Structure 1
Amino acid sequence: MAGTWRHDREMALKARSRLSESSDPVERLRLQCLSRGSSGIKGLGRTFKIMDDNNNRSLDLKEFLKGLNDYGILMEKQEATELFQLFDRDRNGTIDFDEFLITLRPQMSKARKEVVMQAFRKLDKTADGVITIEDLRGVYNAKYHSKYRNGEWTEDQVFRIFLDSFDSPYDKDGKVTNEEFVNYYSGVSASIDSDVYFILMMRNAWKL
């Protein structure tokens, strides 16, 4: 999508500058993830998922600290422990990491969410809740891509690279779920202050 790389770069720069001013542990972790681009929070989720050996989708403190460290999050152990305790609402020594990632995701206004969902529904031609290469045919024009025009990539390769941009760098399966699409645009949204500009950008990008 045109402009996506630029927004990612703007968001990363903005997140880094805000990091030095923030003292809230949740916000600081969010900003460290966003400084890696739109898929930063998804990447942290993927790191936690790899560590979830028993597939119970929860983490204890030791796993949580290791996950932050493995993903390269710079945080003092005391601050990370306090952060864990904030999410351990029922005080049972574990946190649900789906809930944790939803809380970490930057919030979008109702108007922004609606235009993101309009774009998702337009791309999901088969209406099965997942965007695939087949869905993109006739909706996303690969023929304008520079690598297609110079013969370096096929149309399917352009589609696949496009889908990969919405996914975690560690989990590229060629499919984009509703949640992944919203996660991605939550990140892009964090770099754009104006609702009007964000909605205009989405409408222009997807011809809504």
Structure 2
Amino acid sequence: MTREEEMKEAALAAAGEAETATERLRCLCLSRGYNGIMQFGRLFRIADDDGSHTLNLEELTEALQNFGLEMSEEEVGEIFSAMDEDGTGSINYDEFLDKLRPEMTEDRTAVVLEAFAKLDESGDGMVTLEDVKGKYDASNHPKVVSGEMSEDDVLTRFLGRFEGSTKQDGEVTKEEFLEYYSGVSKSIDEDEYFVEMIKQVWKL
């Protein structure tokens, strides 16, 4: 069993013992895998047509249903009330996802941000195909060699692991990168191991 599979099982079990609705939601998202919270977050970003970065109670309820998470009306209300600290009737979904994301230690957060900065050479807060070209060699990928896929197709798929399954547009934000690695972090107990793993993966 992989670390991710172990985390999924542990998160699902923890959801049944969660003391708050927000903690239960966090566990249910993580039971989808490392990118569970990121997938959930992309539902918000896709639905945010006006760019307001906010959700009302109805929109939050709809997002939960679209993601296939079964939560009672009372639980959704509890989550919304906890997030709507100023009582405006709307919540900023970036802040919401930040609170939902499992906490990482300062050392873990720092090394993940260092990896993102290395990829984001343009400094625009977005990792794209152009950013990863030269850092991830797709020319020898079996499907490129066979002619089934282009190098850009392979790179887009590579970026997709950080985007989640709700939408893959070849762009990864800093928040999505953090959301993905917060899931990975949840499955690793030792800070030193996590930091070293990130350094090796991204050659920091």
Same fold (TM over 0.5): yes
**Which residue number corresponds to residue 105 of structure 1?**
101
Relative to the length of structure 2, the TM-score reads 0.87
Specify which of 71, 77, 84 is matched with residue 75 of structure 1: 71
1:163 and 2:129 are equivalent in the alignment: no
Specify which of 10, 24, 31 is matched with residue 14 of structure 1: 10
Relative to the length of structure 1, the TM-score reads 0.86
Q: 1:189 offset after TM fit, Å? A: 1.0
What RMSD in Å do the two structures reach over aligned CA positions?
2.2
Q: Flag the 1:19–1:144 CA change in 2: closer, same or farther, 3 A.
A: farther
Q: 1:148 offset after TM fit, Å? A: 3.8
Q: 1:198 offset after TM fit, Å? A: 0.7
Q: Flag the 1:117–1:59 CA change in 2: closer, same or farther, 3 A.
A: closer
**Which residue number corresponds to residue 3 of structure 1?**
none
What CA deviation, in whole Å up to 9, does each residue of 1:73-96 have, x standing for no partner?
111111221121111111222222
Q: 1:132 offset after TM fit, Å? A: 1.9
**Which residue number corresponds to residue 86 of structure 1?**
82
Q: 1:39 offset after TM fit, Å? A: 2.4
Q: Flag the 1:119–1:69 CA change in 2: closer, same or farther, 3 A.
A: same
**Which residue number corresponds to residue 62 of structure 1?**
58
Residue identity matched to 1:73: L
Q: 1:101 offset after TM fit, Å? A: 1.0
* Percent identity of equivalent pairs: 45
1:48 and 2:44 are equivalent in the alignment: yes
More deviation in 13-22 or 185-194? Answer: 13-22
- Structure 2 stretches lacking a partner, 5+ long: none
Q: Flag the 1:120–1:51 CA change in 2: closer, same or farther, 3 A.
A: closer
**Which residue number corresponds to residue 21 of structure 2?**
25
> For residues 25 and 19 of structure 1, what CA distance do their matches in structure 2 show?
9
**Which residue number corresponds to residue 91 of structure 2?**
95
Check whether the contact 1:14–1:191 (CA below 8 A) recurs between aligned residues: no
